[in-house]
């Protein structure tokens, strides 16, 4: 998990979860629950987007490294 998220992001996730749970117990299950749930879901969506971005970046990096190594190999063949 630390591969895709830095420590600050993990702290923000933890604080968001703690505040959401605290709001449930302090505010109870009232009409404000929908607001709290909405804020929590937006936070979760941002976390998922950050994770997907990290995964996609790693995949692109891997593919670029493969292309680079193929180009290097072709250039060495051309020189010989």
Whole-model pTM: value is 0.62
For residue 67, the model assigns a pLDDT of: 97
More confident of the two residues 14 and 3: 14
| 69 lies in some domain | yes
* Structural domain boundaries, residue 35: 7-79
Establish if 2 belongs to a structural domain: no
Residue 1 lies in a domain: no
Stretch 19-28: mean pLDDT: 76
Determine, yes or no, domain membership for 15.
yes
- Measured between alpha carbons, how far is 41 from 51 in angstroms, rounded to an integer? 15
Rounded Cα gap, residues 79 and 68, in angstroms? 17
- How many domains does the structure of the chain reveal? 1
Q: What percent of the chain has pLDDT over 70?
A: 86
Q: Residue 39: which of 21, 16, 13, 22 has the closest Cα?
A: 16
pLDDT tier, 4 (very low <50, low <70, confident <90, very high otherwise): low
Residue 40 belongs to a domain? yes
User: Does the pLDDT of residue 38 top 90, yes or no?
Assistant: no
């Amino acid at each position: 998990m630390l591969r895709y998220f830095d420590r600050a992001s993990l702290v923000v996730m933890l604080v968001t979860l703690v505040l959401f749970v605290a709001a449930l117990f302090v505010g109870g299950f009232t009409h404000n629950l929908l607001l709290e749930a909405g804020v929590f879901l937006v936070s979760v969506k941002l976390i998922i987007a950050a994770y997907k971005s990290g995964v996609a970046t790693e995949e692109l990096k891997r593919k670029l490294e493969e292309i680079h190594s193929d180009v290097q190999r072709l250039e060495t063949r051309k020189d010989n």
